[in-house]
Amino acid sequence: MSVATTKTSALDLHVHRFVPATRPGRPPLLLLHGTGGDETDLIGLGQSLAPGAALLSPRGNVLEGRAPRFFRRLAEGVLDQDDVRRRAADLAMFVGAAREKYGIAAPVALGFSNGANIAAALLQLHPGVLSGAVLLRAMVPLDPAPAATGLAGTPVLIVAGDADPIMPPGDPEKLAATLTAAGADVTLRTVPAGHGLGRADLALAAQFLARLG
């Protein structure tokens, strides 16, 4: 595992770690942690779900207290829409710089909670940056949703918990419909869980990623 150091300004937008691929042909993963995580948080998960894939893992650069996040929120479940847009633009630039630096293809996002939300915003606001996404416990990040296009055939897995106390009712279905309307190939699954992840989530994510290569 290498800790990235570079003079490229777009890469400096996020402290991050990069793990080179050991299995050529697997799509790289963009690992996006939940609130309070960091650039190390999902490395083990990425290695478990997609063995041999290159891993790009940025740290969210917004602090809520001492907890890193990818964008600000105004209250529990109330997202700062302007900040979502700004941070999604920064993340898109970061991914582009990382692809050039490390010689990787467009990544598949693997995001949990806050990380899943910024990945969903990235899909809607900057189509083409991601080649796919696994969105674990994602809520609708932009309301109203932008009239996104350019996601034709982009594979997206959304996994919701049926007892998630954080998730606004109907958000997973609304997000799935929005991404489908933009052309994405969306699979929505609901598992018996709260906001935390369990074996069912990991099994669904592993199966989805295996189909991508």
For the question of residue 113 being annotated catalytic, the response is: yes
Range of the domain at 40: 2-212
- Whether the pLDDT of residue 101 is over 80: the answer is yes
Name the catalytic one among 113, 126, 171, 201: 113
Q: Say which of 90, 164, 171, 201 is annotated catalytic.
A: 164
Structure tokens at 140: 């609708």
Q: Is 41 a residue whose pLDDT tops 90?
A: yes
Q: Are 182 and 126 in contact (CB under 8 A)?
A: no
Q: pLDDT tens digits, residue range 73-90?
A: 888 778 899 999 999 999
CATH number for the domain that contains residue 9:
3.40.50.1820
Pairwise pLDDT comparison (7 vs 150), residue with the higher score: 150
DSSP string covering 34-71: -TT--TTTTHHHHHHHSTT--EEEEPP-EEETTEEESS
The model carries a pTM of 0.94
pLDDT tens digits, residue range 121-140? 999 999 999 999 999 999 99
Residue 164 a catalytic site member: yes
Number of structural domains in the chain: 1
